[in-house]
Chain A
């Protein structure tokens, strides 16, 4: 194995070791380590969804969306206001609040699970519609201008969420978002339930996105990424495919946002900013490998692991100048990580695979003469 290939397993192993050993050393208590890991895993699954969405937009379609936060925020708040009951006091104001009306199939105990599914669905649909509306003017722009427009839209939506206090209760945010299947287990064990939900949804979305990308549809998206003129000269409606990639990516981001709000139980517009809402997902995608869905998930794992490790570091006796600055150093280090990867390993930990279509792979495996050259996992470049 070439030393270059060792980087990916090493990065994975280093993060895994750190997130097991560091909390274990701090508490020496099996349960709290498990609790830490499960919460960590839930966050990784949620962020993986957002990075997968970004991968569809940037990694496959080449759309420079620097406003991931817009869809993260809209997904989270849409799910919250659909799932919550109506506002109870005059100090809490928000639209929606359908949760208690969604007990549509009473004999199946549907108030336990239906509102949450509707919440996720609503977040997905709402983000999709938003992305479609944004795409009409924005996707006709060149990519650098598109990046600026998406930043603007994200900031606009965040300001609206804060200033329009009747919409989602302004900066006070929305507390008491009901927890999916919360009555099944004791509150202390709930982390396992939300972990399971996040992982199941991640797996379903991963399968769907992977299958979509490794199809003729995905082939057109990647062609758009490579050269819009050639794609148009090949008879494809470039704008329509760009819009599809943008909308599908936004739908996936919205689903991630919905589960984020279920995990937190309380969200405020101030949870979302350009660093945490957009930049970190770009870091995850670049570190993991844009154009590779497994890379997107690995990137979420490594970068979020790094993020948590910096918090765990506080438990150690650090020099004072480090201890007081550790969060700033962390932000700096994430930026340095992006720059480092772009310079030294621009394809990320898991580069895009060379041959993508599942159908072509199947065909070639079924043809004996082709079998020896049919290595679908040959790394790119």
Chain B
């Protein structure tokens, strides 16, 4: 597993907003079938990097390669179809749609999304809807939200919305999942279950995880590799233990508290 080839490569990517460089000549790579952490102090450019990878922002310069193909500049829905899905740091649930609908939206290639199919060929839609419905229930079972399936997503608690974000990524068969602070606001017991689930998904389905997280305990427990960003640049990479010992990282981020 340690030797697997990079699935995602970020090559000297720059993103500036009106002259402020949020990401500055950042190069890093994430190996396939790993759970890789992304840490760094506030304003290090972690979420901006996620937005660049998933197409919500276009790099000012530089390339992003996913499975050896360039994806920088593609719109978000195209990147989704390449196999990268993401969650948002602040949950963006579909508020006045039910939890179930939030999930049933996601699966790609739904025949019912072409207007003529529901109007004229209901039977085609029907079969697929059953599969998607069953898949959604399965995923809801997985994240412990099945009892809330008919609730409006807006009525969920903060932690439940985080889980709904994660559930959304599981409604498809991605090659890579980007999680933006999945742990914040989720209680410990549930978090332990999530860690188990993420490990299972990585091990059994070969899904690569790239996780922004501030909780070093969680990072240590979850990640094979940790990448550190600081001031928009790549700073260090290594196992959680190595990172904890790394002088540069300690200076930039941990402020010496782990010394």
Contact = CB atoms under 8 A, between A and B. Distances in A.
A210 to B, nearest CB: 10
B75 to A, nearest CB: 7
Contact of A360 (B80, B81, B133): B133
Contacts of A238: 77
B94 interface: yes
B98 A230 contact: no
B5 interface: no
Given A234-B106, A359-B126, A216 B118 contact: yes
Interface string B97-133: 1101100111010111111011100100110011001
A381 interface: yes
Contacts of A381: 152
Given A230-B88, A352-B96, A380-B96, A217 B101 contact: no
A37 to B, nearest CB: 33
Given A234-B168, A360-B129, A217 B98 contact: no
Contact of A211 (B81, B105, B119): B119
Contact of B130 (A244, A354, A363): A363
Given A219-B101, A360-B104, A230 B92 contact: yes
A299 B88 CA distance: 38
B106 A227 contact: no
A378 B114 CA distance: 28
Given A211-B119, A229-B88, A354-B152, A234 B105 contact: yes
B104 to A, nearest CB: 7
B172 interface: yes
Interface string A74-114: 00000000000000000000000000000000000000000
Contacts of B86: 233
A231 B115 contact: no
A373 interface: yes
B253 interface: no
A255 interface: no
B94 A217 contact: no
A362 interface: yes
A63 to B, nearest CB: 16
Chain B interface bracket (under 10, 10 to 19, 20 to 34, 35 or more): 35 or more
A168 interface: no
A208 B118 CA distance: 9
Contact of B97 (A226, A229, A378): A226
Interface in A318-363: 352, 354-357, 359-360, 362-363
A215 B118 contact: yes
A342 B118 CA distance: 33
B96 A219 contact: no
Contacts of B106: 234-235
A222 interface: yes
Nearest to A378: B150
Interface residues of A, number: 39
Contact of B104 (A232, A248, A357): A357
A300 to B, nearest CB: 23
A271 interface: no
Given A230-B92, A373-B150, A237 B115 contact: no
Interface in A138-186: none
A254 B152 CA distance: 34
Contact of A233 (B54, B101, B115, B129): B54
A219 B118 contact: no
Contact of A217 (B88, B115, B122): B115
B112 A359 contact: yes
A232 B168 CA distance: 12
A227 B106 CA distance: 13
A232 B56 CA distance: 9
A222 B75 CA distance: 20
A362 B130 CA distance: 10
Contacts of B98: 354-355
Contact of B119 (A212, A237, A357, A373): A212
6 contacts: A212-B118, A218-B118, A226-B94, A229-B92, A230-B92, A354-B152
